[in-house]
Amino acid sequence: MLMSENLQELQTEMRNQASERLDQMSALETVTLMNEEDQKVALAVKAALGDVAKAVEVIAAALQRGGRLLYFGAGTSGRLGVLDASECPPTFGTPPGMVQGVIAGGPAALVEAIEGAEDSLELGREDVQRIGVTSHDVVVGIAASGRTPYVIGVLEEARRRQAKTIALSCNPEPDISQGVDIAINLIVGPEVVTGSTRLKAGTATKMVLNMLTTASMVQLGKVYGNLMVHLQATNQKLRVRAKQMVMQATGAGSEEAERLIAEASGDVRVAIVMKLAGLTKEQAAQRLHRAAGRVRQAIEQE
């Protein structure tokens, strides 16, 4: 494991030559530089897409079998994992436990630094034990530096429990990639503010987490075309979106879409299948059940 005196050897801790006179720049110069640096992020993610796709396949297979996707990280990395996990139920209608994010130090660490939490191998092991990781699950250890002891402890314990393991970092040859099933390394280079990995590293991490959950849910049939038909319409905006989706998917007018959604008890998938396959609510629900919730397959069933 790298020790603190080796920190300067990490790309994410090196000084960015383009920003060495940052304290002398105007506001426009600063944000222009940040924008130029951010343009490198998408290219860094592009270089890792092969590994990201492999991770998606592993995650989708595990979720299909009833397993879970579990993110673990400290600081910004942990917060990003919690954020991505929390957005899956409203977007894709997933059970709350299917995708979870765990941050070193617990929920309090979402809003304040918890001293020493990221430095504890044992805390990582304990969190894996506490959440009951099994061989059915996929564990993603997130660490921009690639050397966070907490994440190393997480991945070691997850491997011991025979879970699938994925390491996500922003440095070459990260410690956390040792022994994992898939390593995703996003080489974004030095930050505009030296060592501030909430910047390019954080953006790159968020982009990949978006891909891991979104592409996995697509593989599981959670969309119809590009419509998020599994969404939970829990507020007025989402109810309007649900009606628009039924209109877009079926060609129904506004009033008919409202009627279909009402007959389907608010289930967009059922409403779409009812309209496009000419079925009752009960028949549409039965087809969706046989198709494991996949709208297109339910419509095409004979």
Spans of all domains in the chain: 4-219, 236-300
Is there a contact between 208 and 48 (Cβ–Cβ < 8 Å)?
Answer: yes
* Catalytic site includes residue 87: yes
Give the percent of the chain with pLDDT over 90. 89
pLDDT in tens, 73-115: 999 999 999 999 999 999 999 998 999 999 999 999 998 888 7
Predicted pLDDT at 128? 98
Is there a contact between 217 and 88 (Cβ–Cβ < 8 Å)?
Answer: yes
* Averaged confidence pLDDT in the chain: 94
Predicted pLDDT at 9? 75
Residue with tokens 């300067």: 8
Nearest to 150 by CA among 114, 116, 179, 119: 119
Task: Give the whole-angstrom CA distance, residue 271 versus residue 280.
Answer: 9
Higher pLDDT, 69 or 116: 69
Reported pTM: 0.92
Give the CA-trace dihedral at 120, 80, 4, 147, to 10 degrees: 80
Task: Kindly list the distances between the CA atom of residue 296 and the CA atoms of 24, 226, 227, 261, 299, in Å, as whole numbers in the listed order.
Answer: 57, 12, 12, 18, 5
pLDDT in tens, 214-263: 999 999 999 999 999 998 888 899 899 999 999 999 999 999 999 999 99
Predicted pLDDT at 4? 45
Q: What is the band of 3 on the pLDDT scale with cuts at 50, 70, 90?
A: very low
Asked if residue 68 has pLDDT above 60, the reply is yes
> In CATH, which of 1.10.490.10, 2.60.40.10, 1.10.8.1080, 1.10.10.10 is domain 236-300?
1.10.8.1080
Catalytic residue (choose from 87, 126, 258, 263): 87
Predicted pLDDT at 8? 64
Predicted pLDDT at 232? 81
Query: If you average pLDDT over residues 286-298, what whole number do you get?
Result: 95
What DSSP string describes 222-266? --BTTB-TT----SHHHHHHHHHHHHHHH---HHHHHHHHHHTTT
Residue with tokens 């690639």: 146
Predicted pLDDT at 7? 64
pLDDT in tens, 14-47: 999 999 999 999 999 999 999 999 999 999 999 9
pLDDT in tens, 184-193: 999 999 999 9
Is there a contact between 261 and 242 (Cβ–Cβ < 8 Å)?
Answer: yes
Other CB atoms within 10 A of residue 280 CB: 11
Predicted pLDDT at 2? 41
Q: What are phi and psi of 200, to 5 degrees?
A: -60, -45
Give domain 4-219's CATH architecture: 3-Layer(aba) Sandwich (3.40)
DSSP reduced 3-state for 148: coil
Predicted pLDDT at 234? 82
Catalytic residue (choose from 13, 118, 156, 191): 118
Asked if residue 179 has pLDDT above 80, the reply is yes
Is there a contact between 168 and 206 (Cβ–Cβ < 8 Å)?
Answer: no
At position 244, the amino acid (one-letter code) is: Q
